[in-house]
Amino acid sequence: MKQFRIAFALLGLFTLLLGVGYPLFVCGIGQLLFPRHANGTIVMAGGRVVGSHWIAQDFQKPQYFHPRPSSANYNGAASQGSNLGSTSAKLIAALKSRAEQYRLENGLSEGAPIPADAVTASASGLDPHISLENAKLQAPRVAKARSKPVDQVLALIDELAEDPFLGLFGSERVNVLQLNLALD
């Protein structure tokens, strides 16, 4: 019985310490040092929440820039990759279909090269960014749908472009939600 009492006392202590204390400590540090990130980087427009800086949204209308494809159907609660391997017939068929659709939507000729992020989903399925190359290929479609000069849309892309992480990792990119909000 003495062993059980000690075991239950330690269970209670570590449950309080690691199950309550540690999460409260980490949340407190997050709120203190990174309040914007800890609260989800909510994006507001017109006094209402329109999304998050870190979660892609499904824009399909021609007057909007389109995000990367999503394996999670742009559902933040269902973050997932497709888990299909590079030799998967299902993946190859999906990539071909996405490439055809992308070329059709953006007025590109058959076989025209397109950026990989235009047809591949990110690992989470929720990547809110697209490459500058992807955005610039979509610019003529967006400009035409909004009756704006292409140069004006391209200038906005360049203005909102983000550098690679720490200047080293990845490539220049643009957040699709912020770009579309700036256009609106």
Domain locations along the chain: 1-39, 43-183
Which letter, b or e, does each residue of 25-39 get, where b requires 16 or more Cβ atoms within 10 Å of its Cβ? eeeeeeeeeeeeeee
pLDDT of the residue at 6: 94
Residue 65 has pLDDT above 90, yes or no: yes
Bridge partners (DSSP) listed for residue 175: 129
| Average pLDDT value over all residues in the chain | 90
pLDDT of the residue at 29: 92
Residues with Cβ < 8 Å from 45, sequence gap 6 or more?
A: 181, 184
Task: Measure the CA–CA gap between 30 and 127, rounded to whole angstroms.
Answer: 22
Residue 37 has pLDDT above 80, yes or no: no
Residue 161 has pLDDT above 80, yes or no: yes
150 pLDDT band, cuts 50/70/90, is very high
- What is the mean pLDDT of the segment spanning 11-15? 95
15 pLDDT band, cuts 50/70/90, is very high
121 pLDDT band, cuts 50/70/90, is confident
Q: State residue 70 phi and psi, 5-degree precision.
A: -125, 130
pLDDT of the residue at 10: 95
pLDDT of the residue at 22: 96
Residue 18 has pLDDT above 90, yes or no: yes
- What is the mean pLDDT of the segment spanning 110-132? 89
pLDDT of the residue at 19: 95
Residue 14 has pLDDT above 90, yes or no: yes
